[in-house]
């Protein structure tokens, strides 16, 4: 009799989960994604959330400086109230991800594990993702970024499957990590199709409301996203880095879309060696380094790849960093787990490589982050060049966190991570605001070349 009761209870768990999922799909005009249906008990989910908050608090070196802790606890308690029935991994994620914007850091958050793999498997099972690249502006309005499916670049999308587009973008922002709303909005733009799938679901077709003249007309899209082309790991070296000469060789233009090269640095160093040799041989006066799409990576890439060719004086990448004391730290005996300030006293020596004598201009943008922000701050603080961008400051904070650790999420299996370090830039008191921009120029999200052309004209006085 006991075994029969257990089976009935388990069936009720699945029925209850399926019922809530179907209601969500019906109310949103989307189909529930094709994901694993294993469910977890409410008590185990609540315990995991409490443990996650504890791990974040014990790992983060500077949590109270970044996070409104009372708001964090308020949102945590709101999440706990909503855990009333067994839930699968996706539904747990949809709740736990409400913590992401509260954590106010691109290196601190909760994600679906192996999201690209999960999305790929769902596509094989028939799920569809919106096959459009988009831009979200400051007012959360949604636009087509690149012309596709007969819709021109710059076209505003007013609705998707009958849901107001601003309602959608604001909802997604409430589940996205990032330093601030600007960063989160721009990151949503970059992965909009996958975030829409996570929070709303799949759709056999997408009905878009777009404006033509004075009327809103509906356009139906039946195509699916090409996930392979969307993955940054599938991009070629040429997609990540490029160099060309402009304005009769007066200007060199180096585009670095990442500083993350897990396969090794040799190819990049070969490119930068050749690039700086060309700039010297051609007598170029200016070098533009475009890191608008650069979300960070390894500091070695810009220390060796750029500053070894340009820095004519000793310099520091930071003044100090804040971190948790571990068992290998000899400077802080008996303080394991406590927060300590680590002075960064080492200066980078001037390399013996020939130096570029021209002026350096670094273009920052909507997705410049992490190591790329650190690079921009060194350029600024060491007076190695000038920062160019649309806003008065970078979207991301001037100081970055780093070296994040993954937390144990044994119940749901979600990926949760928190940074161990807080890196203080060389200009004290400038951490919570972005790196100041020296030259402000419009950066058209629908024409990425526009700001480059404007800067070249300004430099060469064309």
| CATH 2.30.42.10 domain span(s) along the chain | 114-226
Question: What pLDDT does 25 receive?
Answer: 44
pLDDT digits (tens, 9 = 90+) for 347-370: 788 899 999 999 999 999 999 999
Is pLDDT above 50 for 431? yes
**CATH entry 3.90.226.10 includes domain 232-460:** yes
Res. 234 pLDDT band, cuts 50 70 90: low
The predicted model gives 255-280 an average pLDDT of 95
The predicted model gives 6-25 an average pLDDT of 37
Name the CA radius of gyration of the chain, rounded: 24
More confident residue, 300 or 225: 300
pLDDT digits (tens, 9 = 90+) for 104-117: 999 999 999 999 99
pTM over the 0.75 mark: yes
Please list, in sequence order, all residues whose beta carbon lies within 8 angstroms of the beta carbon of residue 428, skipping any fewer than 6 positions away: 319
The predicted model gives 287-291 an average pLDDT of 98
- In eight-state DSSP terms, residue 207 is E
Sign of CA dihedral 40, 45, 47, 51: positive
Is pLDDT above 50 for 17? no
Q: What is the share, in percent, of the chain residues with pLDDT greater than 70?
A: 89
Query: Strand, coil or helix: what is 274?
Result: helix
Question: What pLDDT does 319 receive?
Answer: 72
- Average pLDDT score, the chain: 88
Question: What pLDDT does 6 receive?
Answer: 34
The two beta strands, 87-88 and 206-212, are: unpaired
pLDDT digits (tens, 9 = 90+) for 304-345: 999 999 999 988 887 777 888 777 766 776 677 788 787 766
CATH topology of domain 114-226: Pdz3 Domain (2.30.42)
Please list, in sequence order, all residues whose beta carbon lies within 8 angstroms of the beta carbon of residue 10, skipping any fewer than 6 positions away: none
| CATH 3.90.226.10 domain span(s) along the chain | 232-460
Question: What pLDDT does 316 receive?
Answer: 82
Q: Is 434 exposed, middle or buried (0-12, 13-18, 19+ CB in 10 A)?
A: buried
Cα 302-305-307 angle, rounded to 5 deg: 70
Question: What pLDDT does 345 receive?
Answer: 62
pLDDT digits (tens, 9 = 90+) for 173-226: 999 999 999 999 999 999 999 999 999 999 999 999 998 778 899 999 988 876
């Amino acid at each position: 009799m006991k075994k029969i009761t257990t089976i009935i209870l388990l069936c009720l768990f699945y029925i209850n989960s399926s019922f809530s999922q179907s209601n969500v799909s019906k109310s949103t005009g989307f189909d529930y994604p094709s994901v694993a249906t294993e469910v977890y008990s409410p008590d185990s989910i609540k315990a995991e959330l409490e443990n996650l908050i504890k791990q974040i608090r014990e790992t983060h070196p500077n949590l109270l400086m970044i996070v409104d802790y009372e708001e964090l606890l308020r949102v945590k308690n709101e999440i706990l109230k909503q855990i009333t029935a067994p839930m699968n991994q996706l539904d747990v994620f949809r709740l736990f991800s409400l913590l992401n914007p509260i954590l106010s850091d691109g290196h601190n958050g909760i994600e679906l594990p192996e999201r690209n793999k999960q999305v790929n498997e769902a596509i094989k099972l028939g799920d569809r993702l919106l096959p459009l690249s988009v831009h979200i502006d400051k007012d959360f309005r949604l636009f087509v970024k690149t012309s596709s499916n007969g819709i021109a670049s710059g076209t505003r999308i007013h609705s998707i499957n009958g849901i107001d587009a601003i309602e959608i973008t604001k909802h997604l922002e409430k589940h996205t990590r990032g330093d601030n709303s600007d960063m989160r909005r721009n990151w949503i733009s970059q992965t909009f199709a996958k975030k829409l799938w996570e929070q709303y679901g799949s759709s056999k077709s997408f009905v878009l409301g777009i404006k033509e003249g004075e009327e809103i007309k509906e356009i139906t899209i039946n195509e699916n996203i090409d996930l392979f082309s969307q993955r940054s790991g599938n991009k070629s070296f040429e997609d990540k880095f490029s160099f060309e000469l402009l304005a009769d060789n007066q200007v060199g233009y180096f585009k670095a879309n990442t500083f993350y090269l897990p396969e090794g640095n040799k190819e990049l160093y070969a490119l930068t060696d050749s690039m700086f040799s060309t700039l010297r041989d051609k007598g170029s006066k200016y070098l533009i380094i475009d890191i608008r799409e650069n979300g960070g990576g390894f500091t070695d890439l810009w220390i060796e790849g750029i500053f070894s060719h340009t820095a004519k004086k000793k310099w520091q990448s930071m003044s100090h960093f804040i971190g948790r004391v571990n068992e290998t730290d000899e400077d802080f005996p008996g303080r394991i787990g406590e927060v300590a300030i680590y002075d960064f006293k080492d200066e980078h020596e001037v390399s013996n490589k020939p130096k570029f004598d021209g002026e350096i201009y670094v273009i920052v943008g909507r997705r410049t982050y992490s190591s790329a922000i650190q690079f921009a701050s060194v350029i600024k603080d060491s007076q190695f060049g000038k920062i160019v961008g649309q806003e008065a400051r970078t979207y991301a904070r001037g100081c970055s966190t780093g070296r994040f650790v993954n937390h144990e999420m044994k119940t749901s299996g979600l990926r949760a991570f928190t940074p161990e370090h807080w890196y203080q830039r060389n200009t004290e008191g400038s951490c919570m605001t972005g790196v100041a921009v020296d030259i402000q120029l419009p950066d058209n999200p629908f024409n990425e070349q526009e700001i480059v052309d404007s800067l070249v004209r300004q430099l060469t006085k064309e």
